[in-house]
Chain A
Amino acid sequence: KAGVTQTPRYLIKTRGQQVTLSCSPISGHRSVSWYQQTPGQGLQFLFEYFSETQRNKGNFPGRFSGRQFSNSRSEMNVSTLELGDSALYLCASNRAGGRDTGELFFGEGSRLTVL
């Protein structure tokens, strides 16, 4: 069973640019979550999508956005990049749907460096 796949694994951008990160969840998983991980702030929740709808959102500015497609694949976009956006962006999928919280399965992350 293939795991969560994130692309690209590494990327370098300059301030003001935008970036799009992609995530393919485990087959059959309908929930996809995104997290930002930095040394100073730890793991911070960005948003969660379930059946193409944003179900939860963390406390990030509007420059951070995402979407989910009908095949459950998800993308997140960061516009007008700032130096502080340099981080490891982790995607996780979950078989969720009902009251039972399944565990999150994480990808290896996309490491973004903003210069």
Chain B
Amino acid sequence: AQKVTQAQTEISVVEKEDVTLDCVYETRDTTYYLFWYKQPPSGELVFLIRRNSFDEQNEISGRYSWNFQKSTSSFNFTITASQVVDSAVYFCALSYYGQNFVFGPGTRLSVLP
């Protein structure tokens, strides 16, 4: 069975601090996809990144970076120099071959001014 765990339920940081959101997944498939989504108060989930299981390269996009490690089944997300606008619930998700996605429980990030 596929499962996604986000152990951090809520995180609070002060603006400009760096913060890492953890994601651990379980799957027996060798080909799968990992995602991160952001859900601001408006409710709509916003896609942030997709990574397939064969691409373990870390990725950086502006203040966002992702660290994918198959050896530990983790796909962690770091926000550098956090801003108040980063306050949201962040979801990690797993999918394979276009089948239904499995989402983690989410981590609520509060960035305080």
Give A contacts to B, CB under 8 Å.
Answer: 31, 33, 35, 42-43, 45, 48, 55-56, 58, 88, 90, 92, 94, 96-109, 111
Contact = CB atoms under 8 A, between A and B. Distances in A.
Contact of A42 (B37, B100, B105): B105
Given A43-B91, A103-B35, A33 B47 contact: no
B101 to A, nearest CB: 6
Interface of B: 31, 33, 35, 37, 42-47, 50, 91, 95-106
Main secondary structure of the interface of B (DSSP, over half): loop
Nearest to A35: B103
A92 B44 CA distance: 10
Contact of B98 (A92, A97, A109): A97
B99 A56 contact: yes
B99 A90 contact: no
Given A101-B33, A103-B35, A109 B102 contact: no
Contacts of A55: 99
A2 to B, nearest CB: 14
A56 B102 CA distance: 12
Contacts of A107: 44
B43 A108 contact: yes
B97 to A, nearest CB: 5
A56 B97 contact: no
10 contacts: A42-B104, A42-B106, A45-B101, A90-B43, A97-B98, A100-B98, A101-B98, A103-B47, A106-B45, A111-B43
The 5 closest A-B pairs by CB, nearest first: A96-B98, A106-B45, A43-B103, A56-B100, A101-B33
Nearest to A33: B100
B106 A43 contact: yes
Contacts of B106: 42-43
